Amino acid sequence: MMPVQYKNQYVTVFQSELYQTTSTVAVTKDMILIVDPTWLPGEIETIRQHVAKNDAGQHKYLLFTHSDFDHIHGWKAFPEAVTIASRGFVDRTNKKKMVQEAQDFEDYYYIERPYPVEYPQIDIIIDHDEQTIKNGDTSVSFYLAPGHQVDGVFAVVHEPGVLIAGDYVSDVEFPFIHHDSEAYERTVDKLEEVVDDKKIKLLIPGHGKCTTDRDEMRDRIGDSRWYIETLRDEIRQQKRLDVLEAFVDSYRFSRYLREEHENNKAQIQKEYRA
């Protein structure tokens, strides 16, 4: 079983026991959109059963917001779904590494699945912002979102006003900058524009709690922007900033997150040297 974090007329947000990872299923009379089904076989089976229960012959789509291995575990559980991801996802040169990380996870925890762990094959490739799929009265637009990873994408389900953000604007994580800090900032700016322009009613991060509070959406965006700017100031000044340390320590799982904070420092130092 996989707990349901949030549910309304259109959207069910499942939350894994691992890393508070979310998997979203949006259902309308025209379409079923499945996003990042993960982690454990029983959790993915819960999602699969939910999709089957709501299947009235709609078009089914499976979106991968990025290629981190925890977001691609469930591909083979939905063979009937049309897959969607960014051009960067398709063109990644280290696909074998992603699959190996997934396989290492399986081996470490003795996990067996009824399908192989493979890198997803993509049917619809997102090449530009606001690329849209439409079935009947339901439309979903996609936006390129590099920064966390090079191949990120987030999605807006228009009629319910839902923003599926991938690994951004979390309440349990500050930015994890695995690709580029300036690209991350541009994605944060884009998220802010979309929240305002598309009248978003529900924001769903890849980890942590979703929110229907627009002030909280803006606060999360502001915190992400402040963290990157302040971290860059710390690297530039070459001295430890107490306010930044306090910010990191304010997170519930700061012992683990501190490792990511150090990785972020190394990433920005590398950008300065480039």
pLDDT tens readout for residues 39-80: 999 999 999 999 999 999 999 999 999 999 999 989 999 999
Q: Where does the chain have alpha helices with state H? A: 41-53, 87-91, 95-108, 181-197, 214-237, 242-249, 254-273
Q: 4-213 domain in CATH 3.60.15.30? A: yes
Nearest to 171 by CA among 209, 204, 206, 200: 209
What was the pLDDT predicted at 14?
98
Q: CA-to-CA distance for 245 and 225, rounded, in angstroms?
A: 16
What was the pLDDT predicted at 1?
80
Measured from the Cβ of residue 79, the count of other Cβ atoms closer than 10 Å reads 8
User: Which residues are CB-neighbours of 192 under 8 A, at least 6 positions away?
Assistant: 218, 221
What was the pLDDT predicted at 238?
87
> Over its length of 274 residues, how does the chain's per-residue pLDDT go in tens digits?
889 999 999 999 999 999 999 999 999 999 999 999 999 999 999 999 999 999 999 999 999 999 999 999 899 999 999 999 999 999 999 999 999 999 999 999 999 999 988 999 999 999 999 999 999 999 999 999 999 999 999 999 998 899 999 999 999 999 999 999 999 999 999 999 999 999 899 999 999 999 999 999 999 999 999 999 999 999 998 888 999 999 999 999 998 999 999 999 999 999 988 7
For the chain, what are the domain ranges? 4-213
